[in-house]
Structure 1
Amino acid sequence: MTSSNPLPTAPPRRPALVRWWRAWWRNLTPLRQERLALLAPLVAVFVFLAAIVAAFAYLQIEESEREQETLQRDVEYAQQRVRLRLLERQEQLMRLARELVQQELAPADFENRAEALVNQYPELQAVTWIDAQGRIRASHAAPTLPSSQQRSPGERIALDAPSWTQARRQVVYAQPLAMPGEAPPLLQLLVPIVRGRQFGGVVLGEFSNDSLLRYGMPPRVLARYAVTLLDGDRQLLAGSPMANNTSHANFLPWKQQRASEYAIQVSPVGRGLVLRAQTYRTSLGMVGSGLFWLVGVLSGMTTWLLVATWRHTRRRLQMQEALVAEANFRRAMENSIATGMRALDLEGRITYVNAAFCQMTGWSAEELVGLKAPFPYWPEEEKDLLREKLREEFSGQNSSGGYKMRVKRKNGTLFDARLYVSPLIDAHGQQTGWMTSMTDITEPTRIREQLAAAHERFTIVLEALDAAVSVAPLGSEELLFANKLYRQWFGAQADGHLQLVAQAGKLPVSYQPTGGMDEEDGLMGLPTDTLTNALPDHAEIFLPELGKWLEVRSRYLSWVDGRLAQMVIATDITQRRQAEEQASRQAARAQSVSRLVTMGEMASSLAHELNQPLTAISNYCNGTLTRIDNGQLSEDMLRTALQKTAHQAQRAGQIIHHIRAFVKKSEPQFVQADVSTMVQEAIELAGIELRRHNVRLTHHVAARLPPVLADAILIEQVLINLMKNGAEAIQQAQRPPAARTVELRVLPRSIEAGEVIEFTVQDSGKGLPPEMRERLFEAFYSTKQEGMGIGLNLCRSIVEAHQGRLQADNIYNGTEIVGCRFSFWLPVAKPAGIASNSVANVPSTRTLA
């Protein structure tokens, strides 16, 4: 008979969470396990206390929400009661207004009806009939109303203007503002009296806010809440608010909480009247219950016992923690330090190297510890020298600044290092060896060499500049830097720097701080007079001892030692100034040549113009001689002949005088010139050329024009050139006699730059083609066969030298060009005190080129 053994069953497998928890607990150190075991009961106590507090808080919140809902319902019910009461009074006043519209009430009857309403309804304090002019026709007020608020017939009442205007169309509620020291304001109801479309006044009903609150509110609401009436600005009108709007909190007896309140606007008054209710708190409810205090005291005692036990255990483990912390600190310090550390015993054997030393040399600690000189990280060619250095270290002759050496890595590469050696002293004060620290200085050495090379390049560039550069500190005669050209001009002293600054005047501040974002004002410490009186960004001066013109620029900078210094750059501009002066002289010659060319082109017309007075003089003289020979000349006839002869001679002299003044070579004279005089002299000269081309000239000059700051001859030259060009354009267009006109207009204008005088010359020629408009003002560009191409270019230069602007536009009739318009403007001369400065700032003649 055989027996069967039962198969062994596997133990039940624990859940994954339990397995994870057991593995995590075993991985913890004993110290952490003990801390967590002590922390668990403390956490359980705090969780229990938090649950009790949360339950109390939840119950209190539920109670507060129910109380707030009850308050809201009661206030809305009270608001409906007040609203209905106001609507009833409004309906009665509207009925009274309709009777006034139908002219059924006399003032006496109105007062009787008003008295009945006031006596019947205590909140209604006064009823007043006001006509369209704001005068009181009839009024009745309650005896309790102060005399200052009572109305008298015939008196003009002052109502709020917006309310009075709105009352012409509809019923209006108004709440006047409370004035200090006066009786509380009354709520006003204005009911309009309208006959057809004509406004006949209003019926004014005035309500007492206190009475409206007392008689319009339900007694139940007044008993449970502190009810008040407020205006639109939340100012108290009636009622007594709670003096101390706080009560005990819901679950902390020592904390206070604001009482519940609810406010709602009283319709139809709108934003002018607000009803507010505040709850009275008479008990603490669950907040002050003994259960809360009992749970709190027990939780505190349990917490105190757990903390005491934890402190007792921690005292027992303090020594162990201190030892572990010290060991960890030393290990971390050794592993994180970037300086290589090496310890030698008194025999020169390596006893310790840190991780940084091994990382620098590439040799491990096991390979280095126990070795004696020569060490494997010494280069072969320097072993004798390094052995001598090591002998000096052992004899105590090492330098405090260390010494530089080359170190060979395990892979054969070399790097520069600096070694510092000091005696190694134990806890008993005995020397047990030598401690060496090694620092890799390969990168600092490379950077130092790059800086030296950059400084050398920078110095070469500054020395080769064609400008004198100098730097000196403010308030000192020390010269911090000077390049080669400065030393050639002024020597190695700061006198030249100070001379340039003094002669150039106060140069502008262009200081740029070199610090970070957290520094103070970058301009702090700069001289205040330089900041406030800064002139343009450069100055041009002449040094007689050098015989040169220099352009001087300056800026402030912070020197390497932190001092505020000033850098001055002086550039030789003698050749440029000479070129500018030569260009100025050539521009003056160009102006004279242009005027001579203009007179040359007008020579035939001038000859014809001068021939007329000369012929008349000859005829008058011949006629006089003939009459003398015939004996027919009387004294009156002789006087008449001589007067006409003198007039013709004066006319010829004026023509010659204008021509000489126009072509005379002179420097520009910017003075206050009369516009009408300039225009008249230009018309007299240009009219000769226009008559030769059979062109009619019309001009209009506005009356009482202010003077302009200009050179009259130059402006006359511009006007003559423009009118002459207009006549020639008409001649080329071959316009019929009726269409051969040139118009000159001079009018004042206002632009962004200020008040100006605008000169406009308009002709009836063919206008300017597009290709000509682009090159119109170019020098030596002309469309005339005999033209020089300097006329319009010179005109624009003259106008711009007078701070003005010249432009040209075509005149269109639909799509057809019917003429051209040249216009320019000159600024009006400023008053005498300002004009002198303006003259000084006008560009010289060289700017005309």
Structure 2
Amino acid sequence: MKKIVLSIWQLKPVKWLRRMRSFKLIYTPLIAIMLFTVVMGVIMGTLQLQEKGQQEAALFRELSFAKQRIQLRFANNTDVLQSIGRDYIISSESAKAKENVVIQAENLLQSNHEIAQIIWINETAQRQWKIPMDNLKTDWFNKPENASVLNQALKKTIELSAATNRPAFSQFISLEVPSDELISKEIRNVFWQAVPQIYGSEIKGMVAVLYTTQGVLEMIPGELKGQYRFTLITDSEKILAISSDKNTPKRAFSNQTSLDLGVLSPNLSLRIDTYPPATNLSFRMLIGVVLGLSAFVIWSLWSVLKQMQVRQEAEANLRAETNFRSAMENSTPVGIRAHDMNKTITYVNPAFCEMTGWSAKELIGQNPPFAFWPEGLRGELNEKMNRALELAMSQEKKIGIEGSILHRNGTVIQTRTFIAPLINEKGTQTGWVTSLIDISEPKKIREELAASQERFVTVLEGLDAAVSVVSNETGELLFANRFYRERFDNTSKGHFALAGGEIIQNTMQALLEESDNTATTNIPPSFLYKESESEEIQLLDEATGTSKWYEVRRRFVPWVDGHLAQLLIATDITIRIEADDLARQQEERMQFTSRLTTMGEMASSLAHELNQPLAAISNYCMGVAKRLQGHIDPDLQKDILPALEKASDQAHRAGTIIQRIKGFVKRSEPQRKSCDISEIISDAVGLVEIEAHRHRLSISTEIAKNLPLVDLDPVLILQVLVNLLKNSLDSVREVYPLSSRWSAPPVQISADLDTSTFPAMLRIQVTDSGGGIAQSVIERMFEPFFSTKSDGMGMGLNICRSVIESHHGRLWAKNQMDAEHTKLSGCTFTILLPLESPGSKATS
């Protein structure tokens, strides 16, 4: 183990050797792949060229054979024609002999499909006989559009032959034959051959033969035409005849040659084109095997290359990691030493040597008790080491043990030691690794802090603010003053609630980056004691069930044991927040009450002026009724007295309504008192019922029995109910026209107790049968200045919610669906109010 550790840390590879090795590992497989690819490409190219040469050679042989066949046929035909002409001249006096000659010509015509017609022309250029006389082909030859062309070409051919005394050929003649005719392909292109018959030194006649270009291709054997396509073409690349209409492939081989039928023959070329050859299975299998082997070799070489690259990368990472660990262990102030299973020291880093004053050679190989242990503490330290080794394997979280080290110069250093098992690559433990931290200075600081703690604890205990300190590593509550313990008990739960969750490690990391230091102990005080901005946190007091507001400040501080901790100071600002909230509520109330001031003054004046005339009307009606009793006819009394009484009742009712309006608009300071909710609902219905009757609508009331009295401001609640009832009436008016409002369901207002909450709350609901409220409107209907009415200011529902929330209640709206759940059939506004105000409950 000692030799392995030393060899790893003292490894210094030579750069040029590493580069050469890297070159071999990387470029050798690449060169091999390139060479193999080039060789296989040359082999495949050679095979391809060889195959192409063989095909071209075979093509040339077949073309030469076809050319010879055609030339030989024409030569034989010329000889036969000369023989026929010679026999015909000799047998000019014998009719039987002439008939035999004609029979020979017919046999020649029948045995040679390329010949379409044979004509005998005497020395005076007169046609004496022709074969055949009449057939499908000769009919087209006799057509006027074709006969003149054929005769003119024959005449020129005869003249050329007579001038040269040799067989002569005409130019190629294209006949006018419909393409749908069966013989159109055979006789479309023809040409003449005139064979002179020289007897002695004079021309005694000529044999003219009409050849078809399509028939010339019939001279080629059928097996050749099955393998190749033959084409007769002129010098101008005009196609005269083709053996097959089947197309050849794009990469087909082609060759052509001039036929040279005679001295006076036209320029005629024969072209040959290859069809797709039959599949050469063995050659293709060979190519497939070669390609497969090539791909496999390339893949194998590529795999070797990738493995080499992975290995080289792993070696580079190992070297980088080794250098990094070496630099880290040589630069760290933490002392590190390694032990084998017998506790013998096998490795020490420079920091440990600096701590003890001993060199690495002197320390390696020592067994406990070690020379750097103080003389009087060796037994205790040996026992601690044995106990720590036993617990090192079982504990997931390593906890350091405190001890002492004796420097060679006699100085005692206080240390904290951490022990961990040393595991090799096979997962087997081979020893132990211990790291020592010098805590002499932190321990001295802890002692000084412990002495000074008693002086400021008394001050902290007397503060009216919560002071707490929590460990940044373990989250343990390190300190809490009296105020904190009274509010949050003696746990760190309250600290985390005030801090907004777990301690944020990024805050400390940001401080480290700003200070350009890597050690916590070297952070400047300007960063370490940097106080965060104050935050206002709302927490629920579980003891009283109320919410408390705290102004929280926190900072990071070093604790007495040298570890980082978080200090938090929380001041109770509930009274200030409540005062601010109350001021805000008062301001909101002023916003919507200021608009009613003028209307209230006018309504009060109007109520004052109308009360006296209405009272007088009521008194006059009652006085007239009393004076008329007993002095008028009984028949008139039953008609007049009820009318006067009804008029008096209506005048009294009008006075009551005016008194309600006057009480509604007479706004005073908010004042809670115990009220009967049924009376408030009755007043609200009375105020709105006049408008409801004017629009032919009605309001129904349903109030549960034995409802308790509720502490609230009756004027504000009355205002909320009036506003909600008016909105419900407006919703019904939009759905039902004036002519059908008699069938509209009444707007319902109900009051009962909601026992689903604890404690129970008073529930008031206003339900209408209108068209409901759109979802987008429900989400914003309680916002200030949001209104769907053209003349609305958008403050009504916002004021209603503010009033209800000032009573610690809730207000919301919910649409109602019809029986089929297909469309909206109205809306319900629900109000929940506590039966007792929080202030009265706290006072009691």
Specify the TM-score bucket, using the shorter chain as the normaliser: 0.3 to 0.5
Q: Which has the larger radius of gyration?
A: 2
Q: TM-score, normalised by structure 1?
A: 0.33
TM-score of the superposed pair, with normalisation by structure 2: 0.33
